Amino acid sequence: MTPAVIVFLYLAAVAYVGIFAFRGARGREGAEDYFLAGRSLGPFVFLMSLFGTNMTAFTILGSSGHAFQNGIVTYGLMASASALVIPLGLFLVGTRVWALGKRHGFITPVQLFRDRWECGHIGTVIFAVQAVFLVPYIIIGVMGGGTTLHSISGGRVPYWLGGAVVAIVVMSYVFFGGMRGTAWVNTFQTTLFLVFGAAAVLVIGAGMGGFSAAAEAMLEGPMARLLTREVVSPLYFLSYTFIPLSSLAFPHILIFCLTARRLEQFKKTVVLYPLCLLGIWLPCVFLGVMANRATDVPQIRAKIEARETLTREGPGLSPEARQGLRAEAAADDVLILLLERHAPIWLAGLLGAGIMAAVMATDSQILALSTMFTEDVFAHYGGRERFGPRAEVHTGRAFVVGITVVAYVIALRAPEGIFALAVQYAFTGYAALCPLLVAALFWPRSTKWGALAATLWTAAAVAAVAAFQAVVPPPLAGPGRIVLEVAGLPILTRTAGGTAVLGLMPVVPITLLSAAFLAVASLLTAPPTRATRLRYFAPDRLRESGRLG
Amino acid sequence: MKKGFLVVLVLVAYALHQDVWLFARARPLVFGFLPVGLAYHALYTLGCTLLMALLVRFAWPGHLEASSREPDAR
């Protein structure tokens, strides 16, 4: 129970940080202060909170679980590709979004799109699609809170209570502290995990008798494949580099880009972001793989046996039996189990708190959705004029309460698997929305109709993939079931893990076609007025060529 | 440093992520415990830090700071 007590103390500290931020912001109750911390974040808080925003429950629990099942490929798929794409995106896109936000007073990406492409309702369509993709993250965060507290307390804290505690804590500091509270909490959480994560690696390594011995032993046995990347095809590996593009289109990341006090703040973030990724992901993935050697932990041994039974006897089993074995083999808690086995109680508690920190990264999504609703719907459709600027903050806070309560109720009633799946679709969706941002910032000729075409295509394509995977059952094992073939070339394949289009993950064709739809529709329609294009493009070009400023 | 050269560096970095030649290999264990494929990508991540430092040093869009202070012309 001691780790659970430490986690509860940690939750109290987090709530205090948020409320402290609220007290620090008294007298500055405007929308820009609540939603963007007054565009005043310094370099350290900006780096740690931006990184913390991207570090979700999946980063910690999901990555070690994925590595437990699939081996070291997890790092190459999810971390090292992000180490190139995300800081590069912050360098190219984040800096420009920041400058435009500061110049024009934008608080959300949709405000930028509306102004840049001279549109109103098309912006609302983009808002709706972004919001639909964002909601599953919030629900999965509440579910993760319930599951983690339940697990850390050894089952003494029921799922419903764990979810409620996490929901209330997150809601409190987002409600009171807004972006300032969220940023400070994220900074606190990321620092905590970076420090204690390193300690956990050392302690678990020592407890397992050294990683060298464990790795050598794995190489000699049937699990040696987990130390290679043969479990995925090179095309799948290549496809995965498109997934981090989603981070550039996430509203919560773009909104975070607007919080920096100065452009200089991006420098340290761009350079140090890959190092932070290394510090978090390498231990999680490595420990997840090494957990396969921790057969002295009964729960881990049971997972390995379930996985082996599934591989050996899967085709002959009933669907219910297979489902049961899959649930038994689910590995998102291997890190917690390793900590319980090898770490002293106080460290297990602190690491449990760090894991809770990652689970609670849903705070940024709640705030982003609240910001988007307030600015893109309430204020845009006359709320600001009718009720005054102070009503914006009140609306934002009311939305924070509303969305948290709805997410909690859904988390109590719906199976987690549905939303875990929805989050995976959302990654594809946001990656495919990335061309909108690139076009808005770099292509003067792009138009609102191009933006609408890309948005509708993305929504339809992601829905089509979801429907396809719901209708066509996955094969039990092997290369996959070919559904569409042309001249001997497999076009569409249902694989055990999802869908393949020409051997690639759907995110590749969906993103490329999104860019194509945007380009073609833009070229077929009238561009924004010359005045608008000059406002967005002339100053930068003149200044870059040395003729201005 | 020429921007064209930096663009080439970014493209090379993207290509280097696809280390198909290491897919089937686990040995050698770097430092005695890190499979070579994982060690490669850890090193790759450090290389990304270096690349970002080069971009920040030689292609920083400093003009955006000034443009952010311009009055909103809407």
- The pLDDT score that the predictor gives to residue B1 is 65
Spell out, as residue ranges, where chain A has pLDDT lower than 50. 547-549
- The pLDDT score that the predictor gives to residue A543 is 56
- The pLDDT score that the predictor gives to residue A22 is 63
| B42 to A278: CB separation less than 8 angstroms, yes or no | yes
B29 within a domain of the structure (yes/no)? yes
- The pLDDT score that the predictor gives to residue A434 is 96
* Cβ contacts of A425 within 8 Å, gap of 6 or more: A133, A462, A465, A466
pLDDT, one tens digit per residue, over B3-58 is: 899 999 999 999 999 999 999 998 899 999 999 999 999 999 999 999 999 999 99
Q: How far is A498 from chain B (nearest CA, A)?
A: 22
B52 within a domain of the structure (yes/no)? yes
| B33 to A262: CB separation less than 8 angstroms, yes or no | no
Range of the domain at A264: 2-116+123-225+248-418+524-544
- The pLDDT score that the predictor gives to residue A541 is 55
A50 within a domain of the structure (yes/no)? yes
Token reading at A135: 């909601």
Q: What span, in angstroms and rounded, lies between the C-alpha atoms of A237 and A235? A: 5
| A540 to B20: CB separation less than 8 angstroms, yes or no | no
Are A404 and A171 spatial neighbours (Cβ–Cβ below 8 Å)?
Answer: yes
B30 within a domain of the structure (yes/no)? yes
| B63: helix, strand or coil | helix
- The pLDDT score that the predictor gives to residue A549 is 34
Q: CB distance from A229 to chain B under 8 Å? A: yes
- The pLDDT score that the predictor gives to residue A62 is 76
B63 within a domain of the structure (yes/no)? no
Please name the helix (run of DSSP H) or strand (run of DSSP E) that holds residue B30, with its range, or none.
strand B29-30
Please name the helix (run of DSSP H) or strand (run of DSSP E) that holds residue A482, with its range, or none.
strand A481-486
- The pLDDT score that the predictor gives to residue A221 is 84
Tell me the C-alpha to C-alpha distance, in Å, between residue A383 and each of A251, A373, A378, A401.
22, 11, 5, 19
Q: CB distance from A535 to chain B under 8 Å? A: yes
The secondary structure of A98-148, three-state, reads HHHHHHHCCCCHHHHHHHHHCCCHHHHHHHHHHHHHHHHHHHHHHHHHHHH
What angle do the packed helices A416-442 and A507-524 form, to 10 degrees? 40
Q: CB distance from A207 to chain B under 8 Å? A: no
| A84 to B23: CB separation less than 8 angstroms, yes or no | no
Range of the domain at B45: 14-57
| A549 to B66: CB separation less than 8 angstroms, yes or no | yes
A46 within a domain of the structure (yes/no)? yes
Q: CB distance from B66 to chain A under 8 Å? A: yes
The secondary structure of A284-342, three-state, reads HHHHHHHHHHCCCCHHHHHHHHHHHHHHHHHHHCCHHHHHHHHHHHCCCCHHHHHHHHH
Could you tell me which of A51, A73, A54 has the C-alpha nearest to residue A268? Answer: A51
- The pLDDT score that the predictor gives to residue A547 is 43
Which residues partner with B35 through β-bridges?
A: B29
Measured in whole angstroms, how far is the alpha carbon of residue A97 from the centre of its chain? 20
- The pLDDT score that the predictor gives to residue A189 is 81
Q: How far is A140 from chain B (nearest CA, A)?
A: 29
A57 within a domain of the structure (yes/no)? yes
A238 within a domain of the structure (yes/no)? no
Q: What span, in angstroms and rounded, lies between the C-alpha atoms of B53 and A196? A: 27
Token reading at B32: 């005695």
Q: CB distance from A271 to chain B under 8 Å? A: yes
| B33 to A277: CB separation less than 8 angstroms, yes or no | no
A25 within a domain of the structure (yes/no)? yes
Number of A/B CB contacts below 8 angstroms equals 152
Neighbours of A207 (CB within 10 A): 15
Token reading at A74: 């997890």
B64 within a domain of the structure (yes/no)? no
- The pLDDT score that the predictor gives to residue A96 is 95
pLDDT, one tens digit per residue, over B59-73 is: 999 888 887 777 665
B72 within a domain of the structure (yes/no)? no
A21 within a domain of the structure (yes/no)? yes
Q: What CATH number corresponds to the domain at position A329?
A: 1.20.1730.10
Question: Searching chain B, which residue's CA lies closest to the CA of residue A547?
Answer: B63
Q: CB distance from A102 to chain B under 8 Å? A: yes
Q: CB distance from B23 to chain A under 8 Å? A: yes
Which residues partner with B34 through β-bridges?
A: B30
Could you tell me which of A194, A200, A117, A163 has the C-alpha nearest to residue A446? Answer: A117
Query: Burial, A51: exposed, middle or buried (Cβ in 10 Å; 0-12, 13-18, 19+)?
Result: buried
A484 within a domain of the structure (yes/no)? no
B contact test, residue of A118, A271, A540, A543 with most B CBs within 10 A: A271
Token reading at A26: 């008294």
| ipTM over the 0.85 cut-off | yes
Are A99 and A423 spatial neighbours (Cβ–Cβ below 8 Å)?
Answer: no
Q: How far is A549 from chain B (nearest CA, A)?
A: 8
> Following CA atoms B66, B68, B73, B74 in sequence, which dihedral angle do they give, to the nearest 10 degrees?
170
- The pLDDT score that the predictor gives to residue A544 is 54
The count of domains in chain B is: 1
Q: What span, in angstroms and rounded, lies between the C-alpha atoms of A172 and A166? A: 10
The count of domains in chain A is: 1
- A413-429 core/surface letters (b: 16 or more CB in 10 A; e: else): eeebeebbbbbbbbbbb
- The pLDDT score that the predictor gives to residue A523 is 97
- The pLDDT score that the predictor gives to residue A347 is 75
- The pLDDT score that the predictor gives to residue A542 is 52
| B48 to A543: CB separation less than 8 angstroms, yes or no | no
B3 within a domain of the structure (yes/no)? no
